[in-house]
Amino acid sequence: MADARATEQRDQARRMAWWHKARFGMFVHWGLYSVLGRHEWARCQERIPKEEYESLADRFAPEEGAPRRWVRLAKEAGQNYIVLTTKHHEGFCLFDTATTDFSAPRRAAGRDLVAEYVKEVREAGLRLGFYFSLMDWHHPDGVRCYTDESARRRFVEYTHEQVRELCTNYGEIGGIWFDGWWDLPKADWDLAGTYKLIHDL
């Protein structure tokens, strides 16, 4: 058991070496809340009704080139990596996904915003990372999973499928930053299974 733990720690240190060396990077919050020009918790903290907030998906159509400007700013500042919110707690996916129509390619934006980000970051020679919220205010099981075991299992499979898409559709990534997991124990999120999925891919 001790040998296995030591091996796991060495492997983690190997995987994280680039991040420790990079030291300085950019974290980009981008989502439906950008239409409001306010913070990413706007729907919750301002008590915006679900339907009203989600209608922002029909207005969120950012002009092309934003990731290029982020990259230029990151390079000028001496940053070495960028992390983008692929999905925040609102549940709106900036990436092309088969799991939901509540996504940039299927709403007003009409395109895969994560793909645009990946292209620009790679061309600039920076490392890229993905932020991903486990919590999801849009998915019906996102709330039910706290009290309904079958909903929890469906919801975990839903998140696993989205993580699988992010890990297979965009080439090599530097890492995934998870958020929004605090309402369920780590075991109920099956984070061990999530990490295994990521490492296997």
Q: Which residues in the chain land under pLDDT 50?
A: none
Ramachandran region, residue 171 (left: φ > 0; alpha: ψ -120 to 50; beta: rest): left
pLDDT value, residue 149 = 94
pLDDT value, residue 169 = 97
Number of other CB atoms surrounding residue 97 within 10 Å? 22
Cα–Cα dist 177/52, whole Å: 28
Helix (H, G, I), strand (E, B) or coil at 185: coil
Asked if residues 173 and 130 have their Cβ atoms less than 8 Å apart, the reply is: yes
Q: Which two tokens stand for residue 125?
A: 């020679």
Q: What angle do CA 159, 165, 170 make, to 5 degrees?
A: 140
Number of other CB atoms surrounding residue 107 within 10 Å? 20
